[in-house]
Structure 1
Amino acid sequence: MSEPRVLPAPVARPWRVFAAAGAGVVAIFLNISGLTVALPTITRELDASPAQSTAVVLAYMLVTTALILVFGRVADLVGRRPLYLAGIGLFTAATALCAVAFSPWLLIAARMLQGVGAAAFVTNNTALLTDVFPAAQLGRALGWNATVAALAQVIGPVVGGAATAVAGWRGLFLVTLPFGLVALVASIFVVPRAAGQRGSGERFDALGAVLSTVALAAAVVALSPDVPVSPWPSAAVAAGAAAAFVVVQIRRTHPLVDVGLFRIRAVTLVLLAALSNAVATYAIVIMISLYGQGGGLDPAQAGLLVVPVALGTVVAAAATGRLMRRFAPRALAVTGMGLNAVGSVGVALTLADDAATLWPLAPWLAVLGAGTGLFMTPSTSVLMLTAPARRRGIANGLRSTLQNVGYLFSAALALGVATAGLDEQARRAAFAGTLGGVDAAQLAAFVGNLRLACLLFAALSVLGLVVCLFFPRRGPMPALVVADAPPETAAVAETTVR
């Protein structure tokens, strides 16, 4: 384990650092949520195959997920400021490359570079704020940081859809670019050089980093329907790499992941529940966007269609602070998972075969979002209360990583199930948002696949609900107990100070 590290003194004007970092948070999460409505236009205008369309989404998520813990550890060794600046700089440059990409493969490569930059930035964001804010203001700063991410997540589909409607799919990246530039330039001037100074000279677990990346990549390949080989060899590689990773982490003096945390029953339960929640909820927005544009909505309208998910999350997360003073975290987490299941079933039952009536989906999407918002804070609270104080940062890093793993698997699973059994023309039309041109049988099969995926996600929510039932029995608590890990929405993957 790492030796205790003396943190730098808070800076005189920490809110300047917050503002600079906030611009980067907006850039990253605007880009993430906006892509859900831009994907059909990307598919059409770049003439992308179904495999390439899938890769546009998954390549970014795979790279980001694989590097969260890696960059968290690297920051401990080389210092946070250089990695933070390199991350936002690379993300901004890669966003510009995305905007000028002229082929699907170039866009996928640029998205992977975006993922590298986003992982370096987001991994260090919370830790950097912890370095520069005094203890009395830290909870407020972290809460506002999560709020900025949540708002960016809410407006992402709207802004991305409008930009795509006006300027094509490149409009999403052109809208994102100024935020990245502002974050980079401002951070160079306001982030103190003393923030997150180099650590104690411990060795980096390179083998663990490679094994974790191989396990994730192989698992995604196994889940993808567009890989022209049997999924079983990839699944075997994923299982073997994951097993080897665990063995290496147990034997390492300075491991990438402290697997000893999994010996704490409550910690393991929270991490399993967080993974279930992420898999069960993330990709429904992607499916509804494809369904809506296939039913005749333009990108701007599709962006509005999926907003209820994010709005439900934000409203529920904001209300959870007060609810935690009256109800136990276990009760709130169970209720949140239950709402996820209800919302998913409601979406499945409301989907119309001809995709002509779309707005009745909105209430169910809001219920789904509210479930996620109600689950996040109490589950994180349980994690922070049951993990040893000196290991809370690592525990929250594991939660963020498994949450991102869930997002990645959710997208891969949804895209695979949604297009299963369709012919090549229908699969291309599904990604391109042009389902109106396929025959009725293929359209009915696509909608049936979406219903099946929603029911599968509902079952995963029920599984998560059962896990939450075994959370520790604790009474109501002050809302301030979650200051270490504020409410987060969608892919807010942050690692706190170790």
Structure 2
Amino acid sequence: MSSASPPGTKPERRSPTRRPALAWTLTALSLSTLLPSLSTSIANVGLPSIAVAVGASFNEVQWVVIAYLLAITTLIVGAGRLGDIAGRRRLLLSGIAVFTLATLLCGLATNLPLLAAARAVQGAGAACMMALSMAFVSETVPKDRIGSVMGLLGTMSAVGTTLGPSLGGLLIAGFGWRAIFLVGVPLGLLALALTIRALPASAPATGPAPHRFDSLGTVLLAITLAAYALAMTIDGKPFGPLAIALLVAAVAGLGLFVITESRVASPLLTLSMLRDPVLATGLMTSALVSTVMMTTLVVGPFHLARSLDLNPTYVGLVMSAGPAVAALTGVPAGRATDRFGSQALVIIGLGGVIGGSVVLSLMPTATGVAGYILPLVAVSASYATFQAANNTAVMKDIAPHQRGLVSGMLNLSRNLGLITGASVMGAVFTLAAGTSDITTAAPEHVARGTHRTFAATALLVAAGLAAVLVLRLRSRLSSGRSTMPSFPLHDQ
């Protein structure tokens, strides 16, 4: 039979030929997912050394992290949409090249402004990598394996977060702070080579006005997101006068963005997309769950150090348990999603996050480290389960010309959740503890702040779970999204 087939079709029909190609594709996508998360966590551990080396204060050196996250947050939706229009493979290759070059410039920077600028450029490359890696899954992976691959990408992101502090510490101790950036250069070159070899070319969008890019909408969205992100991070005071002014600017920018998108011929974001209940609830719950995960990273160290009196070494070990568990859970969660369906796993994941948060809000300090780490493990495993299932639910049936855009929106919701968790929930923590200086607060006050903060996160995720359950009930009572008159987010 194979001899009768045209020569050009033979590699397409033989599974032994397809498997190595898929393996190379998954390796390329995994590396493009790992590097942005590694570049976040590895830089955090280097901040004290960088501050000493360049003679900067803590508030100043924080811009090494803020510049990177700000660039990702403001550009990720536009990067996804541009990939849909111009071709995802081309833009992903460009993003990896920019990321790698900027990583080299970070390692060679001679002062803080140059380092912060290079980190912003690195974040621009990372935005392309994060938005387009997930978009490629629906394009290159069979539908019955999408959940497994989403779990793999979630695992790689968690591995990057987990590996960063330990690898960064070793590199700084052996070679100095520049090594935490220079180590990423060969990894970036490897990702570039693998992407060139493994990923197929993406056809440009074929929808209405496919070759037009909404520059005005992209700029307005970037300004809006930048104002919000700065309001949440500036001086560590989310409710100060400057932060409130930035929030007002963000609201005004959002209004202008909505007006613009309703009038341009080829909008960056068709607002009727958000009428799709799967997309809307997926974005909302992604932001809420990410808020909880960042809360564990912000509140956890203070609770462990002040309430449980652990030294920094043990604090670091306990804090690494969460990302490590998320990394181990990702692939099994993805396989379970393929087998049992994304809806069930989304509900299980959200329920686990709520349960772990409730336990953290009630667990007395007398239970010691075990009383904190066990619910933390439950929250982290549930987070990984939710991410694999939610990303699969949103991305599985996306129309080809919108995969990059929707992937960018998913990553944006996650980033906004992380920023909100670091700022707003951090403010809730200090307010509940009854002091503005947690580092000198009494252990019982820190414990009270921890309990009330996690009670608040449980309520937030419970609201998200309620929305998911309402969506599931409505889908059973109606014909689902196919009856909706909104913009066709998915192929019919």
Tell whether the 8 Å contact from 1:129 to 1:141 is kept in structure 2 after alignment.
yes
Cα deviation, residue 388, structure 1: 8.6
Amino acid across the alignment from 2:215:
A
Cα deviation, residue 237, structure 1: 0.6
TM-score, normalised to structure 2, is 0.75
Deviations 1:116-166 (A, max 9, x none): 011112222233455455667766555544433333333333322332343
Residue 49 to residue 35, structure 1, CA distance change in 2 (3 Å):
same
Q: Pairwise mapping of residues 171-320 of structure 1 onto structure 2 (< 5 A)?
A: 171-188=179-196, 190-191=197-198, 195-200=201-206, 201-226=210-235, 230-285=242-297, 288=300, 297=312, 303-320=316-333
Cα deviation, residue 364, structure 1: 4.2
Deviations 1:266-303 (A, max 9, x none): 543332222111122225325546888997536xx665
Amino acid across the alignment from 2:57:
S
Aligned residues: 444
Distance 2:322 2:430 in 1: 23
Unaligned runs of 5+ in 2: 1-10, 475-489
Give percent identity, aligned residues only.
26
Of 386, 404, 413 in structure 1, the residue corresponding to residue 415 of structure 2 is 404
Identify the structure with bigger relative contact order (alpha carbons < 8 Å, sequence gap 6+): 1
SS of alignment partner, residue 469 of structure 1 = helix
Matching residue of 1:114: 122
Query: Whose helix proportion is higher, 1 or 2?
Result: 2
Cα deviation, residue 346, structure 1: 6.8
Residue 392 to residue 473, structure 1, CA distance change in 2 (3 Å):
farther
Cα deviation, residue 45, structure 1: 4.1
Cα deviation, residue 404, structure 1: 1.7
Tell whether the 8 Å contact from 1:312 to 1:368 is kept in structure 2 after alignment.
no
Asked if 1:456 corresponds to 2:465, the answer is: no
Matching residue of 2:463: 466
Matching residue of 1:55: 63
SS of alignment partner, residue 224 of structure 1 = helix
Amino acid across the alignment from 1:313:
A
Cα deviation, residue 79, structure 1: 1.8
Amino acid across the alignment from 1:398:
M
Residue 373 to residue 186, structure 1, CA distance change in 2 (3 Å):
closer
Cα deviation, residue 239, structure 1: 0.5
Matching residue of 2:361: 345
Amino acid across the alignment from 1:257:
L
Residue 461 to residue 270, structure 1, CA distance change in 2 (3 Å):
farther
Residue 20 to residue 338, structure 1, CA distance change in 2 (3 Å):
closer
Residue 461 to residue 311, structure 1, CA distance change in 2 (3 Å):
same
Distance 2:392 2:90 in 1: 31
Of 362, 369, 377 in structure 1, the residue corresponding to residue 380 of structure 2 is 369
Residue 84 to residue 369, structure 1, CA distance change in 2 (3 Å):
same
What value does the CA root-mean-square deviation take over the aligned residues?
A: 4.2
Tell whether the 8 Å contact from 2:43 to 2:180 is kept in structure 1 after alignment.
yes
TM-score, normalised to structure 1, is 0.74
Matching residue of 2:36: 28
Unaligned runs of 5+ in 1: 1-8, 421-425, 428-440, 476-495
Cα deviation, residue 309, structure 1: 0.8
Tell whether the 8 Å contact from 1:311 to 1:366 is kept in structure 2 after alignment.
no
The structure having more radius of gyration, on CA atoms, is 2
